[in-house]
Structure 1
Amino acid sequence: MEGDNQLSLKHRLHKIIFEADTPSGKAFDIILILSIVVSVLVVMLDSVSSYRAAYGDWLYRIEWVFTILFTVEYILRILTVEKARGYIFSFYGIVDLLSFLPTYLSLLIPGSQFFLVIRVLRVLRIFRVLKFTQYILEIDQLREALASSRRKIIVFIYTVVTITVIVGSLMFVIEGAENGFTSIPRGIYWAIVTLTTVGYGDISPQTNLGQLVSAIIMIMGYGIIAIPTGIFTAELSRKRWSKQTTEVCPHCSKEGHDADAEYCKYCGGRLNPE
């Protein structure tokens, strides 16, 4: 009986943490997303010298609160899946680990805490809360209605913002204030100007590694701007997707299952073990 209660508790926790089809699951994901956004803002403010001088102690304490919160969440995710290895080495598992690991590394390697902006990748979970898999069914109507195209534009903008936040933070660490990268927002500004191939020239990397990163992002910029968005839209419109849910397999931690599925299409495990 006690073992059944433990399994039932584990199953309930799994539905709350990994799925967004229930009220509790949606609430968990929304709270998590808000925490991620706030924590990223805290890291950015901490990189600005004036804010760090005035509120450094408070920012440090807040950062550790979020780090402990995300650490507990990561441990709960491992404990509530049947095969922890599947989650640990999944895309979200790696991002979840990197979202709090730099804080602990900062105790040994000064400056590594600024890589915590990688937490912004975790906001990808918002697509589960909004049932983004259902929106894909409407992408083939982008040519017919402007309202439908907004969703595609939001996804594109989010991708660009994610790239600029990560690259801007990377350049802040590589180049530093002596080369004009005085803060993460300043680095993000440079990344936006470079990715869009505007190239004002007011900030430029001086180190070999910084110039290498600059070259990579400039090539990425040409790719993003030169490739017509219509090609990507047309490719998606040729696909036909069945109705899917946000249910996550408790065995392999993969999602995207059909609404009437009882077993995982990736590993064959039962989706709702009793």
Structure 2
Amino acid sequence: MPPAAGTPGGWRARWHEIIFEAETRGGKAFDVALLGLIVLSVVAVLLESVSSIRAHFGRQLRLAEWVFTLVFTVEYAIRLAVVGKPWRYARSFFGLVDLLAILPSYLSLFFAGTQSLIVIRALRLLRVFRVLKLAHFVGEAQLLRAALRASARKIIVFLGTVLTLVLIIGALMYLIEGEEHGFTSIPQAIYWAIVTMTTVGYGDVAPGTVLGKLLAATVMILGYGIIAVPTGIVTVELAHAQRAPLSTEACPQCGAGGHDGDARYCKACGARL
């Protein structure tokens, strides 16, 4: 039997349905209103960074930022209150995003300039996939995350190899060019090797000798091949990943989402859905 309307479990269940679920009319209205507030808060931060606008509307924009912060603070507190396991939700991805969305405003009271980090709130817009019932997009995100996790070790080994190459190439270029051509130290030469190998090519440091230019050309060609390696690793893992239909239902205990379409229990905490 569901909890009575006047009991603590009753109000928690009602608020959980509104805040965490997107299938009901109230839940969808809440999420749409929340997304609108997030967009407005990010726009306010962007506008405040423009000096001409800040000079005329700085006070109003800062007031708006604090209003948004207070609203999001209350919303975060309610989210923790209505889930059965608030600490688990607080450590989840969206729980951390919700916390990071309000921290910059409070940190700005002690550290000037940190209010610019409020743009982190844009990450909360990821909820739009759940609000619009785009469960297949959520499934694609889970698929990509699984592929990245599976390829993490290969990519780490690959990056270790690249860092070793960069160190050797930097030392060689420092030996070949020397300080008279701008390679004033091995770290400076390593910086050049990274910029060249990634095909960025700032041009602030360039070899002047024939041997140095030959080494630079080799590094440039090598860079194209190196860039393709992690892409291939992730592509292979994506091909091997298993697809499964996902629902937009959130766990009433920990708030976790991304469950299989036929799931009856939460994959994060084991609670019944």
Task: Name the TM-score, length of structure 1 as normaliser.
Answer: 0.62
Matching residue within 19, 22, 31 for 1:20: 22
Judge conservation of contact 2:97–2:123 (CA < 8 Å) in 1.
Answer: yes
Q: Deviations over 1:111-135 (max 9, x none)?
A: 1111111111111111222344324
Q: CA deviation at 1:262?
A: 2.5
What residue in structure 1 maps to residue 58 of structure 2? Answer: 56
Task: Please name the residue that 1:260 is paired with.
Answer: 262
What stretches of structure 1 of length at least 5 have no aligned partner?
140-195, 202-221
Q: Could you tell me which runs of 5 or more consecutive residues in structure 2 were left unpaired when the two chains were aligned.
A: 142-197, 204-223
Task: Provide, for residues 80-137 of structure 1, a one-character-per-residue CA deviation record: whole Å limited to 9, x for no partner.
Answer: 0001101111111111111112112212222111111111111111122234432466
The 8 Å contact of residues 84 and 254 in structure 2, kept in 1 or not, is answered as yes
Q: 1:2 to 1:132 in 2, by over 3 A?
A: closer
CA contact (8 A) 2:69 2:102 kept: yes
Contact 2:264 / 2:272 at 8 angstroms: preserved in 1? yes
**Partner in structure 2 of residue 11 of structure 1:** 13
Q: How does 1:211-230 map to 2 (within 5 A)?
A: 226=228
Partner SS state of residue 22, structure 2: coil
Q: Shift of residue 3 of structure 1?
A: 8.1
Matches within 5 A, 1:1-274: 5-135=7-137, 226=228, 232=234, 235-271=237-273
Give the secondary-structure state (helix, strand or coil) at the position aligned to 2:262: coil
CA 1:132/1:237 → structure 2, altered by over 3 Å: closer, same or farther?
A: farther
Q: Is the 8 A contact 2:4 2:10 kept in 1?
A: no
Greater mean deviation of Cα atoms: 226-235 or 124-133: 226-235
Contact preservation (8 Å) 2:138, 2:246: no
Q: What is the CA distance between 1:197 and its match in structure 2?
A: 6.8
1:223-266 per-position Cα deviation (integer Å, ceiling 9, x unaligned)? 9x746868756643543433321111122221122333322123
- Answer yes or no: is the 8 Å Cα contact 2:38–2:121 preserved in 1: yes
What secondary structure does 1:65 align onto? helix
Give the structure 2 partner of residue 190 of structure 1. Answer: none
* CA deviations over 1:198-236 (Å, ceiling 9, x no partner): 6789xxxxxxxxxxxxxxxxxxxx99x746868756643
Alpha-carbon spacing, 1:119–1:136, altered in 2? closer, same or farther (3 Å): closer
Q: Which has the larger Rg?
A: 2
Q: What is the aligned partner in structure 2 of residue 164 from structure 1?
A: none
Cα distance change, pair 233–127 in 1 and its aligned pair in 2 (3 A): farther
Greater Cα shift, 62-71 or 1-10: 1-10
Q: Distance in 2 between matches of 1:19 and 1:136?
A: 15
Larger deviation: 77-86 or 34-43?
Answer: 34-43
Partners of 1:83 and 1:65 lie apart in 2 by 28
C-alpha distance 230-15 of structure 1, shift in aligned 2 (>3 A):
farther
- If the length of structure 2 is used for normalisation, what is the TM-score? 0.62
The Cα RMSD (Å) is 3.1
